[in-house]
């Protein structure tokens, strides 16, 4: 049982078949019952959903709050669990059916760990941190809350609330697979690719593949291959290439085990043929650079489109890549793209034009070698 509660006057507003609660609360007390869950991983499981605090921004807000006539009109957003209760006033005289006056009853226990508190801060992390640290007795703020059935719904609301803000793309990519709500079309399109990327990066049931631990994300700080490069490669293939065969176009889901098998087989061959270049960061290797990842993704599509993952071992993909090796300059030398088109190894940039140039170069030599006959 909670050791105490905080009772706040509130207005319950009906939106469809759900409710939100508008209320005021002393910002100094928000952290007593609400946690800020910064995104992290426990083993291979994603936990939390907030971006890391930006200390310089917090300091700037704090200085403003400690000045005369400080005003924060924007509401913070809180996701409550089922322990939070709304009690309507018996004498409610509201003339509209969608709005009810009452009180929010929020349990508090100072002994609870952050992940056990009854509320999560969905939006307003830096404002609340600044209020917490400010040299002030109190600072009431406007707040809006909703009761979420689980953490997946909290993550969905976090993405939707921050949809118009410069939320780090890497954070969105890690959160998308664990969301359940309807999302904007651009996010919905990337939910399956993001699920595949995260599974590649963190392993399948403890197993490892060529991308395991190598993709840079908010929770994989030691990764050196940019997540957006891998995401583009996966997305291109799912919608227009070899991985299309595993995607359900009606609901946007896919056969993830088969997708992973397909990707791990091809990129495992890449790792075997170019071992040194695969282990270097993009500044030292154009293989792990955005241009290299995307271009070899198109090579994968050309060689394996329409071929089920189980049949890939019989195609001789590694032999194809070995023949291609003499035409690659991932870490040294020059790229020979034709007359007046010779570039240093690191002269390739992650631009649409250079990706097309490198892709055409690789596919030209794949086709010239006659290796496409392996698919006949």
Q: Decide which of 122, 138, 166 is a domain's last residue.
A: 166
- Residue that wins the pLDDT comparison between 266 and 1: 266
Q: What domain range is 69 assigned to?
A: 4-166
> 187 near 171, Cβ under 8 Å?
no
> 182 near 153, Cβ under 8 Å?
no
Asked whether the whole model's pTM tops 0.75, one would answer no
**In a shared domain, residues 90 and 138:** yes
Query: How many domains would you assign to the chain?
Result: 2
CA distances from 205 to 27, 55, 114, 175, 323 (A): 43, 37, 28, 19, 34
Give me the chain's average pLDDT, please: 85
> 104 near 145, Cβ under 8 Å?
yes
Q: Which of 277, 273, 321 is nearest to 300 (CA)?
A: 321
**In a shared domain, residues 34 and 135:** yes
Q: What confidence tens digit (pLDDT) does each residue in 91-127 have?
A: 666 677 889 999 999 998 888 887 788 988 888 888 9
**In a shared domain, residues 193 and 144:** no
Joined together, the tokens standing for residue 54 give 């930006």
Q: Which of 284, 242, 286 is nearest to 265 (CA)?
A: 242
**In a shared domain, residues 225 and 182:** yes
Q: Is the pLDDT of residue 178 over 90?
A: no
Name the strand (E) or helix (H) holding 34. Answer: strand 34-35
Q: Decide which of 119, 138, 166 is a domain's last residue.
A: 166
**In a shared domain, residues 160 and 257:** no
**In a shared domain, residues 115 and 178:** no
Q: Is the pLDDT of residue 177 over 80?
A: no
**In a shared domain, residues 151 and 89:** yes
For 30-44, 126-140, 320-334, 357-371, which range has the lowest pLDDT when averaged over its residues? 30-44
Q: Decide which of 112, 133, 166 is a domain's last residue.
A: 166
β-partners of residue 226 are 216
Residue with token string 């034709």: 338
Q: What confidence tens digit (pLDDT) does each residue in 138-158 have?
A: 999 999 999 887 767 766 766
**In a shared domain, residues 114 and 179:** no
């Amino acid at each position: 049982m909670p050791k105490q509660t905080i009772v706040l006057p509130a207005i319950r507003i009906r939106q469809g078949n759900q409710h939100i609660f508008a209320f005021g609360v002393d910002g100094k007390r928000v952290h007593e019952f609400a946690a800020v869950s910064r995104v992290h991983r426990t083993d291979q499981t994603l936990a939390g959903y907030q971006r890391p605090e930006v200390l310089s921004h917090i300091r700037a807000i704090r200085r403003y709050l400690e000045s005369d006539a400080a005003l924060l009109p924007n509401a913070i957003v809180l996701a409550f669990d089922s322990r939070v209760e709304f009690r309507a006033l018996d004498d409610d005289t509201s003339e509209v059916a969608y709005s009810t006056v009452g009180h929010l009853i929020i349990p508090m226990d100072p002994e609870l760990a952050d992940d056990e508190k009854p509320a999560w801060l969905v939006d307003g992390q830096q404002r609340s941190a600044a209020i917490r640290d400010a040299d002030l007795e109190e600072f009431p703020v406007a707040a809006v809350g909703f009761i979420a059935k689980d953490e997946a719904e909290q993550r969905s609301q976090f993405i939707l609330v921050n949809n118009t803000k410069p939320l780090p793309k890497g954070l969105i990519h890690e959160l998308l697979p664990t969301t359940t709500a309807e999302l904007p079309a651009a996010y919905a399109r990337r939910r399956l690719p993001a699920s595949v990327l995260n599974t590649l990066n963190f392993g399948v049931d403890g197993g490892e593949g060529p991308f395991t631990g190598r993709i840079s994300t908010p929770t994989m700080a030691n990764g050196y291959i940019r997540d957006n490069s891998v995401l583009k490669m996966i997305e291109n293939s799912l919608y227009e290439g070899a991985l299309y065969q595993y995607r359900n176009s009606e609901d946007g889901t896919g056969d993830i085990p088969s997708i992973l098998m397909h990707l791990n087989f091809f990129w495992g061959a890449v790792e075997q043929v170019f071992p040194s270049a695969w282990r270097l960061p993009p500044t030292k290797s154009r293989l792990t650079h955005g241009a290299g990842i995307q271009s070899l993704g198109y090579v994968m599509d050309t060689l394996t489109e329409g071929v089920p993952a189980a049949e890939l071992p019989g195609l001789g993909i590694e032999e194809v890549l070995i023949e291609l090796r003499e035409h690659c300059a991932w870490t040294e030398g020059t790229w020979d793209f034709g007359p007046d088109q010779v570039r240093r190894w690191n002269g390739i940039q992650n631009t649409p034009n250079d990706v097309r140039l490198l892709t055409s170069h690789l596919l030209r030599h794949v086709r010239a070698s006659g290796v496409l006959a392996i698919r006949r």
